[in-house]
Structure 1
Amino acid sequence: MSDRLTVLKTYKLYVGGKFPRSESGRVYEVTDSKDKWLANAPLSSRKDARDAVVAARKAFGAWSGATAYNRGQVLYRVAEMLEGRKSQFVHEVAHAEGLSKSKAAEVVEAAVDRWVWYAGWTDKIAQIVGGANPVAGPFFNLSTPEPTGVVTVVAPQESSFLGLVSVIAPVIATGNTAVVVASERSPLPALALGEVLATSDLPGGVVNVLSGRTREIALPLAAHQDVNAIDLSGADADLARDLEIAAADNLKRVLRPQPVDGDWSADPGTHRLTAFLEMKTVWHPTGTLGASGSAY
């Protein structure tokens, strides 16, 4: 019988490609479905939320400017890294969601497949939503999608890994950067995902993961003037209403909880890929006209 002490894992936030502790120094106890203690998770403060927005904004220019093909390569690399650490995530998900090992393995495999699926869409979504528009005049009129900007993602509360992947991947696949508020009850898979993102090719700041009290973190993010959009997937009705009110101050784009969000294993479709895209329309003269095109 071994007399070694158990080496417990220290979970930290993932902000700007680094692993800070909460600025406040606070933590809270995370338990499993049987109320057994699992770990202490950082209890993020408003300052942590602001730092995450700064990191996301700093990363936005280079990430949105990367080619869609390159973003697809990066997302596929994340899937590779998850596949290599599958046993760790099976353990994390089983404890976080009270699942058997076999069921947790199915969830993790579905999450890896979901990353691969979105990786394949990065250089195809423009063909789905963009195109040439018919106009009455000697002009080309072309519409192309562009990322919205910094997106706050309130991650699903119950599906702490598959649901989490399902809301993060489409945001970054289309060139946005994300500030993620992890599941309050089961934040550990999200914090562990930060370790995978840090060791993949994803630039620091593209995804930032915060844990803690959902309302305490999400409200200042919804009101933040440098956040362009918010996904309310993990917000209950009362919190969603309050976040929408706060988001209206700078006309953020808001994605309300969807009817299909309860079944994260279902075909995700493309609605999350298009949720945080803006359309840019460019006019350009045909023939030999001397005027230059203008963009709107």
Structure 2
Amino acid sequence: MSDTRLAVAKTYKLFVGGAFPRSESGRSYPVTDRKGRFLANAAQASRKDVREAVAAARKAFAPWSGATAHNRGQVLYRVAEMLEARREEFVAEVTAAEGIPAKRAQVAVDAAIDRWVWYAGWTDKVATVLGAANPVSGPYFCFSVPEPTGVVGVLAPQSSALLGLVSVVAPVIATGNTCVVLASEERPLPAITLAEVLATSDVPGGVVNVLTGRTAELAPWLASHSDVNALDLAGAPGELRADLERSAADTVKRVLRAPVTEPDWARQPDISRLRAFLETKTVWHPTGI
């Protein structure tokens, strides 16, 4: 019997509705590191996969947005716990995906874990910070209450395979939204491994859906989908941004525009991404009733 063995290669699939289906088209594409060395084949999603991911996100929206803020915070913290447990695996994947030294990858992974914890802590504070009891002259109360927008299409950053991804996904779900994420086209592997963490934590199926494939093919379908309420263009290529904004306008989506230059995802975030996909609801209520 030979002492050598072949390692079992990992199969990277989509993440839709809490399950890991292959693309309905049966397509895949090769993923390489920065030196052109083959890493794996990733599923190449299609228009139908986008539709199914949006349907899963819509189905999950009511129970997720209806959960208490405290519960959502606990769920996000559980994700951080699971990330911590698989830290070395993520370090290896980020090292390969981004072509950076292991020490830099460790810093990025630790920052991603800490970011989940940071957003978990905000879930039950957003209403206090962004809501208000408005002064009025009359026998009634007037309250402004932040509420989630709905289903958010997220174009993940292209260069920051894990930290950038966490930085755009965590605030979306922390505020009660659900999302369909287009992973980095060239560096999608950490996104699917993150999906495995989400699937084995307490995040309900459909709250986060992850698609891999060609951004230029998938983003227009996501931007024009009538059941997507908002769009985050963080990872949109420059040549697509204007067209995606126009498509989003046709269905009156809230759009978070892409920055002119790639932001430093390692910087401590503010609450702008928490605010980005919240709507303010004003409630009037008579006094004494």
Other-structure match for 2:46:
45
Residue by residue over 1:198-254, the C-alpha shift from the partner in whole angstroms, topping out at 9 and shown as x without a partner, is: 000000000000000011111101000000000000012221111101101111000
Task: Say whether 1:85 aligns with 2:69.
Answer: no
Tell me the SS of whatever aligns to 2:255. strand
Say whether residues 1:153 and 2:154 are aligned partners: yes
Matched positions, count: 288
Deviates most, 253-262 or 51-60 = 253-262
What TM-score comes out, normalization by structure 2 length? 0.98
How far the C-alpha of 1:260 sits from its partner, in A, is 7.7
2:189 corresponds to 1:188: yes
Q: Which amino acid aligns with 2:53?
A: A
SS across alignment from 1:264: coil
**Cα deviation per residue 1:123-181 (whole Å; 9 max; x = unaligned)?**
00111110101112111000100000000000000001000000000000000000000
C-alpha deviation, 1:287, in angstroms: 3.4
Matches within 5 A, 1:178-217: 178-217=179-218
SS at match of 2:137: coil
Offset at residue 2 of structure 1 (A): 4.2
Gaps of 5+ in 2: none
2:67 maps to 66
Change (3 A) 1:2 1:93: farther
| Structure 1 equivalent of residue 117 of structure 2 | 116
User: Aligned equivalents of 2:121 and 2:173: distance in 1?
Assistant: 13
Q: Secondary structure at the match of 2:136?
A: coil
Deviation at 1:261, TM superposition (A): 4.8
Secondary structure of the structure 2 residue equivalent to 1:159: coil
Give the equivalent residue in structure 2 for 1:253.
254
Q: What is the letter of the counterpart of residue 32 of structure 2?
A: T
Which one-letter code corresponds to 1:221 in the other structure?
A: L
Percent identity over paired residues: 67
| Equivalent-residue separation in structure 1 for 2:166 and 2:172 (angstroms) | 10
Distance 1:108 1:44, change over 3 A: same
Specify the SS of the correspondent of 1:262: coil
Which whole-Å CA distance do the structure 2 matches of 1:2 and 1:131 have between them? 68
Question: Is the alpha carbon distance of 1:259 and 1:120 closer, same or farther for their aligned partners in structure 2, counting shifts above 3 Å?
Answer: farther
Distance 1:267 1:112 in 2: 13
Q: For 2:181, give the aligned amino acid.
A: V
CA shift, 1:267, in A, is: 1.3
1:20 aligns with 2:3: no
SS of residue matched to 1:248: helix
Q: What is the Cα deviation at residue 62 of structure 1?
A: 0.2
Please, which runs of 5 or more residues in structure 1 have no aligned partner?
A: 289-296
CA distance in 1, matches of 2:142, 2:173: 27
AA aligned opposite 2:134: N
